[in-house]
Amino acid sequence: MTATSFKRCGIYAALSLALTAAPVYAGVTDEDILADQETTEDIVTYGLGLRGQRYSPLESINRETVQEIRPVWAFSLGGEKQRGQESQPMVKDGVMYVTGSYSRVYAIDVKTGDELWQYDARLPDGIMPCCDVINRGVALYDDLVIFGTLDAKLVALDAKTGKVRWKKTVDNYQDGYSITAAPIVVKGNVITGVSGGEFGVVGKVRAYDAKTGALVWERPTVEGHMGYVWKDGKKMENGISGGKPGQTWPADLWKSGGAAPWLGGTYDADTDLLFFGTGNPAPWNSHMRPGDNLFSSSRLAIDPDDGKIVWHFQTTPHDGWDFDGVNELISFDYTENGKPVKAAATADRNGFFYVLNRTNGEFIRGFPFVDKISWAKGLDDKGRPMFVSENRPGDPTEIKDGKQGNTVTSAPSFLGGKNWMPMAYSAKTGLFYVPANEWQMDIWNEPVAYKKGAAYLGAGFTIKALNEDYIGVLRAYDPKTGERVWEYKNYAPLWGGVLTTAGGLVFTGNPEGYLMAFDDKTGELLYKFNTGSGIVGSPVTWDMDGEQYISVLSGWGGAVPLWGGDVAKRVKDFNQGGMVWTFKLPKR
């Protein structure tokens, strides 16, 4: 063992790996993945379960004990590539797998915090990520660690060595495609979306055989594009994407329609459905593309066996504000009027919280989860927004010089009432815990023409805070009533994920650098620890040798400092970083 093996030793970690038995990797099975929410000794899915509820039944760290947790090791991602760190750690057989900015992957011994291996993707110079060079995590299957790269590749690494086992090009990065989301594994297939809506790409969800990398099916997410399945090495049509070319798009704009499923998906075994959200239609200038522009800004239920769209629900038809519809759709069950309801919920960037019937996509209820929504008066009985016509950015062609349409002030801003950062659901309380933001924007439209690989917006904007003393608000909501149970206000925007546990706790982090724990019923702040850089990752918890651990990745960045306008000035002095922090209760 060389001296370099100890360059990232953790706080209170063992001084030598020779004193610690090497991890023994058993591999991840389909059964492991399906049972992930109930099995607490590992984390093998993004979301602590395929439903994405981010709930753990662990409770030794609880309301009474959380103030006693201590950091036991901290692992530095190293180097000068300390941009936004939005990853969720995975844990299997004593090894943690976490991604870093610029498409890097690390394997860490969870007992000591020592690095076992590191993989750096060789990225070309011409990558075109929209919103920082982030990566949100890996998928685990068999003895593989699988992740997507900023140049739109899917890479499978050997879990023991970090060596490449297979690599597939999902799409051409020079056309604007990239991958930032953690893939999902269902029935032995690794399933990924793509990013790139700001470049006029065609959104797609693709499934690959997780062991070999062979393409299984492809589902475009812009109406009019054909889907395919591959059987016995042959490519076969799998039906047009839910409609005819141009049906909800004018002319040929569906050919560069965006609708990128850039956040990844969830899966519900009860209905055997994948749930993926889709991004903005391209371009942002909605006057160029009258119609609903399916399947942009929507939630899609997809058959995991062949990629067919089973149902869809569009949260922002004819999106003119870049509200997208990618935010996670979380399956949950409840009882109403004595009858069980198979539901799914999402908190949309447009400011509305939606509860759907996950078997058929029918709208159950919706309500605002932010204080100011100006683009719509509300939702009708089908969940369709009732637009405020004067709050749509103006048509440049109606202005004499045709260079810029009328500016409107719209809330929320395009960064959303909630952006990518995942919320959590606790079956114990029946509440969703939503990391919300209160801001608005001045937005205007401009003329634009599509050019492959070039920005395709047709809009300009400036984001502004609505309040002097806070932007971010962590809120607890009852999905059966829309009641706001409690809230915690934060000066800077919230941009990290949420975790809830049977111990009565809600964990999240803020850009000021604090890992925080709240009482899940009252919202009382029970614990905070400064990690040294802003937290935009997602906390996780697991147990080992009878002790409960909490881990979170710290490292400020993401879209806010890049796109935030006046808001970016509020966070300009926050330090970047790259550190995995791991906590537990001290032994008594």
Q: For residue range 101-157, what is the model confidence (pLDDT) as tens digits? A: 999 999 999 999 999 999 999 999 989 888 899 999 999 999 999 999 999 999 999
- In this predicted structure, the answer to whether residue 571 has a pLDDT above a threshold of 50 is yes
Which pLDDT does position 467 carry in this prediction? 97
- The rounded distance, in Å, linking the Cα atoms of 221 and 309 is 9
Contact residues for 150 (Cβ-Cβ < 8 A; gap 6+)? 102, 103, 121, 123, 127, 129, 133, 135, 173, 178, 179, 180
- Please, what is the average pLDDT of the chain? 93
| Separation CA 249–CA 481 (nearest Å) | 36
Contact 229, 216 (CB under 8 A): yes
Residue 224: how many CB atoms within 10 A of its CB? 22
The CATH number that applies at residue 34 is 2.140.10.10
Q: What is the mean pLDDT of residues 34-55?
A: 98
User: What is the Cα–Cα distance from 56 to 39, expressed in whole angstroms?
Assistant: 9
Interatomic CA distance for residues 210 and 144, integer angstroms: 8
Binding residues for Ca(2+): 198, 280, 322
Sign of CA dihedral 71, 76, 80, 83: negative
Annotated binding residues: 86, 136, 180, 198, 280, 322, 419-420
Query: What pLDDT does 261 receive?
Result: 98
Q: What is the pLDDT of residue 13?
A: 40
Would you state the structure tokens that stand for residue 270, as one six-digit string? Answer: 């009860």
What are the Cα distances from residue 473, in Å, to 48, 490, 496, 509?
Answer: 23, 6, 12, 12
For residue 179, the model assigns a pLDDT of: 97
Instruction: Look up the domain containing 536 and give its range.
Output: 3-584
> What's the rounded mean pLDDT across residues 375-394?
98
Checking if the pLDDT of 572 tops 70, the result is yes
Binding residues for pyrroloquinoline quinone: 86, 136, 180, 419-420
Q: Which residue, among 57, 56, 31, 33, has the nearest Cα to 44 in the 3D structure?
A: 33
Distance CA 313, CA 388 (A): 21
Specify the pTM.
0.95
pLDDT tens per residue across span 526-550: 999 999 999 999 999 999 999 999 9
Segment 49-88, tens digit of pLDDT = 999 999 999 999 999 999 999 999 999 998 767 789 999 9
- Residue 555: which H helix or E strand, with range? none
Instruction: Indicate the DSSP class of residue 428.
Output: T
Q: What is the pLDDT of residue 587?
A: 85
Q: What is the pLDDT of residue 241?
A: 64
Is the Cβ–Cβ distance between 280 and 323 less than 8 Å?
Answer: yes
Residue 565 pLDDT > 80, yes or no?
Answer: no
> So what's the pLDDT on residue 12?
37
> Residue 94 — pLDDT band, cuts 50, 70, 90?
very high
pLDDT value of position 233? 80
Question: What is the number of domains present in the chain?
Answer: 1
How are strands ordered across the β-sheet holding 540-544? 70-76, 579-584, 547-554, 540-544
pLDDT in tens, 518-528: 999 999 999 99
Task: List the one residue out of 195, 189, 180, 94 whose CA is nearest residue 137.
Answer: 180
pLDDT tens, position by position, 308-355: 999 999 999 999 999 999 999 999 999 999 999 999 999 999 999 999
Annotated catalytic residue, options 36, 114, 322, 520:
322
The tens digit of pLDDT for each residue in 203-262 reads 999 999 999 999 999 999 999 999 999 988 889 887 766 667 779 999 999 999 999 999
pLDDT above 50 (res 14): no
Catalytic residue status for 322:
yes
